[in-house]
Amino acid sequence: MAKNPKIHTVTCKYVHGTDGDGSTSATTALADSGKIPKGAGILRATVLTHTAIAGSGGGLELYAEGTDASGSVKIATYAAAATDAIGDAVPGAVTGGVITEESDFAIKMVTAVATAGDLTFVVEYIMGN
């Protein structure tokens, strides 16, 4: 670990009209996605609601998706209630550890697909080297 590790942020966005309904069985890549570098350690992941997500049942999960299966890391889980009101800014339950390869972001719906939604995710991570 470096003597002065830095905290960085990256954003990605889920827009129903662009990214579709999502899936309960596979991740859906987000068209508006920043990159998260290899070796990043996830600190926090906050969702900002612009348009309430609807129809998503048990909520959704945010993933960092690399180019192969070993690069898929679940970062955070959000309950449906966390994204049901415009202006919500809610931290997710962070589950991800270290990112194994440079990755884009993807989502997975927990129990039902979405019928609406416009969400921005702000992911904070630390780089030690």
Distance CA 77, CA 31 (A): 20
Model confidence over 76-107: pLDDT tens digits? Answer: 888 878 777 777 777 777 886 788 888 999 99
C-beta of residue 46 within 8 angstroms of C-beta of residue 93? no
Q: What average pLDDT does range 55-63 have in this prediction?
A: 82
Tell me the whole-structure pTM to 2 decimals.
Answer: 0.88
Q: Which of 49, 128, 108 is nearest to 81 (CA)?
A: 49
C-beta of residue 64 within 8 angstroms of C-beta of residue 8? no
Domain 6-127 in CATH 3.40.50.1000: no
Q: Which of 51, 32, 42, 33 is nearest to 8 (CA)?
A: 42
